[in-house]
Amino acid sequence: MELNAAARAAFDAMSEGITIIDTDGIIVFGNRAYRNFLNKEAGGDIGPIEGYRLRDLRPGARLPDVLEKGKPILHQTRQEIQDFYFVNMYPIYEGERLIGGISVVTFLEDAYQAKEELEAAEARSKQVLRRLNKANGARYTFDDIVAVSPEAMRVKELAQRIAATEATVLLESESGTGKELYAQAIHNASARSAGVFVAINCANFNANMLESELFGYAEGAFTGAKRGGKMGLFEAAAGGTLFLDEISEMDIGLQAKLLRVLQERRVRPVGGLKEVDVDVRVIAACNADLPQYVRDGKFRKDLYYRLSTFPLHIPPLRERPADISPLANSILNELSHKLRRPFTLTDDAVECLQAHDWPGNVRELRNALEFSAYLTPSGVISRAALPSDLLRQHEDAGLTLAQRTRNFEKREIRRLLDKNGTGLEGKKKTAAQLGISLASLYNKLNASEF
């Protein structure tokens, strides 16, 4: 077996010690790093080593064992008089014919240097992750949660106590109540605040896609899989918090895999053979009735109990009217910074906001105020500047069902007449769209003030 000049030059450039022997155990090549190692051990220059039997120079050498078995020997640690090193040994085949063996020696000094470089790279990565986390991840703290009513204050205080633990948290509440706001606040008040906060909405993925997103996948796991595989969110959130929103919509089969991850703290990537340890705190959230889902067989009972170690129910806005005004002021302060002009609410606007039942909760309140802010150049938001849906409900407050029905009829007739016109043809079209006769329409117009 012979090496050309290019191969010799490449091996000589390496810091690892390289030794190549033929099938008789004769040294075919030893690179500069390996010869320096031998000279150091011998206390002087031992001269050329090629052509000598390896075990004549090093009686304990195990590279010849590789020739006997035809299989590699990996991750061996050896210690000589002055040096400690790691060695991997491989057989060399030409087709199916064994023609020799090669050993690769990594010296302790190089291993330490590599370890220090890896640690430095890891530290830099953690700094980048912290900056990304603060910029794009968990931005909110408990200072951002407005809680004036006793109901909201109790939930906020409980969440602050839970944040100090490592327990899994389940946020159960209606849509728009601020579940992710609470999840971020819990993360930032926990011992994991320096780690990343990763959020995923389980309702946005089918079962297979969600599994690969959460657990990652190995190379070749499925058609279209990325070369080298992909890290899952459980690994990406290591040392931090993983927020699973809309967990009620997770496939029942995937729920079993999630339960095992929560119990074992290990994940197996899709198509992978090895499990990976994960150190993640999980916060789950849903706006569905999970106990009812359990009864209906759509959610695993064991997973529900595992998630609900600390259940937190965020009350809807209609159950805490005392929070509406301070919440509105907080939102308007944000809008003031965004639009660079101050905003205030008139008393009649506040009264109208408090009369609304807010089915969309805080999200709906934010949308209503943003709508009003954009349409109010003066910055003073009065009742008239609020969305029409809020005004209609305010008008109907305190009325009987018959009175509310009449008001609804008036609004619909007015809307269609505005669209179709108040002439004869417009009235005919309006009556047809309402499913009543033209005479009935005239009766309603005569009985109401338009």
SS3 content of the chain, % helix, strand, coil (to 5): 50, 15, 30
Top pLDDT among 26 and 449 is at: 26
- Dig out the tokens for 422 from the structure: 């108040």
Residue 182 has what pLDDT?
Answer: 97
Residue 84 has what pLDDT?
Answer: 65
pLDDT digits (tens, 9 = 90+) for 30-72: 999 888 888 877 777 878 899 999 998 888 889 999 999 899 9
pLDDT digits (tens, 9 = 90+) for 377-403: 889 999 888 887 776 655 555 556 566
Arithmetic mean of pLDDT, 293-315: 94
Q: Write out the H or E segment, with its range, that includes residue 217.
A: strand 216-217
pLDDT digits (tens, 9 = 90+) for 325-353: 999 999 999 999 999 999 999 998 998 89
User: How do the domains of the chain map onto residue ranges?
Assistant: 5-109, 137-315, 319-396, 408-447
- Dig out the tokens for 342 from the structure: 């101050």
Per CATH, which fold does 319-396 belong to? Answer: Helicase, Ruva Protein; domain 3 (1.10.8)
What is the CATH number that goes with domain 137-315?
3.40.50.300
Tell me: pLDDT of 121 over 70: no
Provide the CB-side half-sphere exposure for 79 (13 A, CA): 0
- The C-alpha atoms of residue 424 and residue 449 are separated, in whole angstroms, by 19
Q: Where residue 439 falls among pLDDT bands split at 50, 70, 90?
A: confident
pTM > 0.75: yes or no: no
Beta bridge partners of 245: 201
Dihedral sign for Cα atoms in the order 56, 57, 61, 65? negative
Q: Write out the H or E segment, with its range, that includes residue 334.
A: helix 324-339
Who contacts 260 (Cβ-Cβ below 8 Å, separation ≥6)? Answer: none
- Dig out the tokens for 173 from the structure: 């509440």
Beta bridge partners of 199: 243
Arithmetic mean of pLDDT, 346-363: 90
Q: Where residue 355 falls among pLDDT bands split at 50, 70, 90?
A: confident
Residue 217 has what pLDDT?
Answer: 84
- The C-alpha atoms of residue 394 and residue 411 are separated, in whole angstroms, by 14
What is the CATH class of 5-109?
Answer: alpha beta
pLDDT digits (tens, 9 = 90+) for 186-224: 999 999 998 999 999 999 999 988 998 999 888 666 655
Tell me: pLDDT of 82 over 60: no
Q: Where residue 164 falls among pLDDT bands split at 50, 70, 90?
A: very high
- The C-alpha atoms of residue 139 and residue 158 are separated, in whole angstroms, by 20
pLDDT digits (tens, 9 = 90+) for 225-254: 666 678 889 998 999 999 999 999 999 999
* Terminal-to-terminal C-alpha distance of the chain: 104
Q: Hey, which of 60-69, 111-120, 157-166, 430-439 has the most confident mean pLDDT?
A: 157-166
- The C-alpha atoms of residue 100 and residue 20 are separated, in whole angstroms, by 7
Fold: same for 137-315 and 319-396: no
Q: H helices of 100-198, where?
A: 108-136, 150-163, 179-188
Sequence length of the chain is: 450
- The C-alpha atoms of residue 42 and residue 37 are separated, in whole angstroms, by 9
Q: Where residue 81 falls among pLDDT bands split at 50, 70, 90?
A: very low
* Average pLDDT of the chain to the nearest whole number: 85
User: Residue holding tokens 């309006």?
Assistant: 430
Tell me: pLDDT of 133 over 70: no
